[in-house]
Amino acid sequence: MTDTNIQLTSTINEDNTLTLALQDIGMPQPGDDEVVIRIEAAPLNPSDLGVLFSAADMSTATQSGTQESPVITADVPAQFMPSLKTRVGKATPVGNEGAGTVVAAGASPAAQALMGKTVAVIGGGTYRQYHCANVQSCLPLKEGTTAKQGASSFVNPLTAQAMVATMRAEGHKAIIHAAAASNLGQMLNRICIADGVDLINIVRKPEQEKQLRDLGAKYVVNSSSDTFLADLTAAIIETGATIAFDPIGGGQLTSDILNCMETAAARDMKEHTIYGSDTFKQVYIYGALDRGPITLNRNFGFAWAVNGFLLFNALGKLGTETVAAMRKRVAEEITTTFASHYTHEVSLAEALQLQSIAGYAKQATGEKYLITPQK
């Protein structure tokens, strides 16, 4: 091991600015139940961008520093500062997950058993070269699995499985998923095919529709099509879907989904009622690709709910045994069901280049960035 350990940090400053920079934090020393992982790959997920950029207006970003140690500065609109007061002046480590080789281990048998193994890890601050983590936060990968293959072993795979588990726990029988051509969407599609669950995939481009159909998806509807609402309603009638997961958030897609669910349910009503059908309709919003207001056009009666969906809250409701089974499945199927594909690989320094930021800040479907801290 080296004595150098570079990490990427995000700091909100008192002068209403954001600073992104690299800093040397030194090598960690593992406790009894901890291991030190040489991070070789870490994905850039939307949840990471929330920590990285916070409420900053990235259109104002400027780059300074050196090529090896860039510094990004951007303005934070004054109205957001009160909600960020606990972050002011603190260099916050970024990165929710990653994978690499265990290079040091604590004294406990569980820690020693991971020595030299390739593991995936969940926990704050994985955008660094060496990361110290409790063994409970690590997922040993199958022999032959690379760090790049295992880098996205937690956030997307567990979220996709949690969606199916939530559907079952709440008594629904089919799922609607928006932005369905994403890495997570493709995982959910593979899970649903394998587990015999009907899934309605909402996309916005014809090429995304073809992509999912080529991957075996039966129900794919295009939100940009003139027949979108009719197509979605027809798919709901055929599948009986009454639960949806929406990463877009803003706009009226959630409203459209609820209204189509109500139209499908109302077909079986014998008498009209101003309260709508008694079929319960649930939409979970789990992202903010559109940061605008959520618009609900109330034509869907009173048997409905719109809630936020956060992975760690969902896992808490599902229980320890269910989550353990999910993790085991991820390790076994990380190169198949839960495979992730990356279009760009950047070093820690390259992640702080304005050109790179312009790319991954778009959160474009089909474009996923991977940070390789050892590069």
Which tokens in the block code for residue 270?
A: 């014998």
Q: What is the dihedral of CA 174, 175, 180, 185, to 10 degrees?
A: -90
Strands (E), the chain: 6-13, 17-24, 34-43, 57-65, 70-75, 92-93, 97-105, 118-122, 130-134, 138-140, 174-177, 198-203, 219-222, 243-246, 249-251, 281-285, 290-294, 304-308, 344-346, 369-371
Kindly report the pTM of this predicted structure: 0.90
Identify whether the C-beta of residue 291 lies closer than 8 Å to the C-beta of residue 361.
no
pLDDT band for position 54 (50/70/90)?
Answer: very high
**For range 323-347, the mean pLDDT:** 95
pLDDT band for position 124 (50/70/90)?
Answer: confident
Q: In this model, does residue 145 exceed pLDDT 90? A: yes
| pLDDT of 288 | 86
pLDDT in tens, 165-176: 999 999 999 999
Which tokens in the block code for residue 123?
A: 């926990």
DSSP readout, 322-361? Answer: HHHHHHHHHHHSTTTTT----SEEE-TTGGGSHHHHHHHT
**For range 60-66, the mean pLDDT:** 97
Question: What is the CA angle 294-160-324, rounded to 5?
Answer: 130
Among 250, 251, 249, 275, smallest CA distance to 262 is for 275
| pLDDT of 364 | 79
Helix (H, G, I), strand (E, B) or coil at 282: strand
pLDDT band for position 1 (50/70/90)?
Answer: low
Distances (CA, A) of 232 to 235, 252, 323, 347: 5, 14, 32, 42
| pLDDT of 276 | 85
pLDDT in tens, 9-23: 999 999 999 999 999
pLDDT band for position 367 (50/70/90)?
Answer: confident
Distance, in Å, from the CA atom of 348 to the CA atom of 69, rounded to the nearest integer, reads: 9
State in Å, rounded, how far the first CA of the chain is from the last one: 15
